[in-house]
Structures are given as C-alpha cells and as structure tokens.
Amino acid sequence: MTSTKDAVTARGEWVRQANRFTERITADGSSAYPVEPGRYRLVVSLACPWAHRSVIVRRLLGLEDVISLGVVDPIRDERGWRFTLDPRGRDPVTGLEFLSEAYLATDPDFDGRFTVPAVIDTTTGKVATNDYPQLTLDLSTQWRRHHRAGAPELYPERLRAEIDEVNAGVFRDVNQGVYRCGFARSQEAYEEAFDALFARLDALSERLRERRYLVGDSITEADIRLFTTLVRFDAVYHGHFKCNRHKLTELPVLWAYARDLFQTPGFGDTVDFDHIKRHYYRTHPGINPNGLVPAGPDLSGWHTEHGREALGGSAFGEGTAP
C-alpha cells in the first residue's frame, strides 16, 4: 500500500505528505504524458495556496484555452474535494463528483489526502500529476509552444539557480512554515516554526527593500510562490495558524510588495477571499471547532497605492500583461 499521509514527529512537528503522482507532462514525449492541448484538466481549489500558483501561471502564460480548469468547492467533507460548484455536482469535463475518484482510479491503494492541484488526463480519467512544485515549472518550460504571444519568462534559464535558491528558503520557512505553526503539536515545534517564519519574512523584507521583485527585474516563479502565502496571511495565517508576531499590513516592505503583485493582472484577479476563509476556518475542526468564519479583515487596503514603481523593473519584462 502507498502511504502518503501527513505525519507528526515525536517532537510534535507536522510533516506534509509527499506528492504521490510525480510523472511529468513533457514536450518531447519522454514521459508517460506528452504535452497535448485539450487533453488535460487542471483541478484546483481557489482556497489552496499550492493550487493558486498554477492558476496564476496558467493565466500569465495564456494557457486558458490549452489546459481547462476545474474548481472544487472550498469545503471538503470526509470524502475530500467535491465538485458541488458545478451543475448536478459533477465536473462537466471529467464527470467526477469527487477528486478522490481520479486518485483511486490511478492508485486503488492510495490512502493519503486527495490534494490539489491535480492534473487529470481526460482520456483516462486518471491523475497525471499532483506534483505542485514541478507543475508550474513545466507550464513555463514544457508548454512553451502554446504560450500566448507576449507571455513573460517566469523561469528564465539564466536565473534558475537563484530562483531555486530563493524558492527553497521560502518553501521551508514561509509556504510550509505557516502550516508548521498551525498544525504543530508541541510548544517547542510551534515556536521553532514561528521563529523561522518571521526570520525569513524579515530577510525577505531586507531583500525587497531596494528591489521590486525577488529575482531579476521582473516577476518570476519566486514571486508567485511567495505571493500565494502573503495574500492569505492576514485573512488566515495570522490568527488561525497563530502566526501573530505581525500582520502583513504591519510589515511595510512586504505589504507594499504584496499590493504591487495583487494589483498586477493575473494575481489579484485570481484571489477569492471568500473561498480562502471558508475553507480554512470550516475544515480544521481541531483548530476552530465551532467553524466560525471571521468577518474581517478589511480588504480595501489591497487596492491602495504601493509606490514600488520607483524601484524600477517591469512586471512582465519584455512580455505583456495577460
């Protein structure tokens, strides 16, 4: 049996389950899944930061007519992600009622969480990949022939080593770090994750004080990966996951940086705060047993001036907005 469940160490540290389906979709046909427009369906939750990355990249690269998008209900039940937002509660392309059906069709012994994003091969109804870190990189590199005219370079070869280095720290301490705070089962594990999270946020603030984007002079994969955590920070992670040294709005550099991205096409227009809040506050009964969804925070600040243009750079480099 394939065991891919989340775990908790003896020290009370929460450990995320491994991605089960790590096959790639490649342009040269070297993998089990070749690049083929119209064949694949990207299934996401708009609440999930890991899935949100793929939604942003798909939009920035203009792949909307090449890879279709299925959106699940932000509220899961014991059977996992549901297609209850669609007519008759079924995904109109795959016919699935639950994402779990595709997981179990691919591996009947799968016993972990049914996670998003997941790319479904519509010819078989099976999961091609749920490897979220590689997925967005492959959208940039393997699907290049199908990018829109003017699509930006999100993972330029000359910057990949630096992007990978930045991503590694952001993943460990920020993307993953907020969950390590929220799901810690000991004070020691929580405080260790908390300290690492805010140490990394402080370092990122310094990095971004004199530069508009994390790597280079335009948006890259690194900015996308950081943004999906920052945009959820005050709405969810600050209170729900006890990441409460500061709110994002109390970190001037990161708050301006996040607003800059939010106001860039492809970012803020892919954010659904209703889905985000309802998912987190209603599906973690161990943290929020009453399931109450907070009325705040005030979201109007996301649309205020950020002043980051003065640092130079251009959102899409030599490319154009979607």
Q: Where is average pLDDT lowest: 7-11, 123-127, 272-276?
A: 7-11
Q: Which of 33, 40, 48, 213 is catalytic?
A: 48
Q: What is the pLDDT of residues 224-247, one digit of tens each?
A: 999 999 999 999 999 999 999 999
Q: Write down the pLDDT at residue 4.
A: 54
pLDDT mean across residues, the chain:
96
Q: Is 179 a catalytic residue?
A: yes
Select from 77, 80, 59 the least CA-distant residue to 319. 59
In this model, does residue 18 exceed pLDDT 90? no
Write down all domains in the chain, each with its CATH number in brackets: 7-146 (3.40.30.10), 159-311 (1.20.1050.10)
Q: Is 116 annotated as a binding residue?
A: yes
CA distance 189 to 13: 5
- Alpha carbon separation from 14 to 179, 199, 222 (Å, rounded): 8, 19, 24
Give pLDDT tens digits for 36-70: 999 999 999 999 999 999 999 999 999 999 999 99
d(CA 267, CA 228): 9
Q: Is 81 marked within a binding site?
A: yes
The per-residue pLDDT for range 65-88, each reduced to its tens digit, is 999 999 999 999 888 999 999 999
What's the mean pLDDT in 192-216? 98
Q: 41: closest CA among 102, 83, 95, 93? A: 93
Catalytic residue, from 179, 237, 257, 281: name it: 179
**DSSP conformation class of 70:** E
For residue 50, say whether it is annotated as part of any ligand binding site.
no
Active site residue 213: no
pLDDT in tens, 158-167: 999 999 999 9
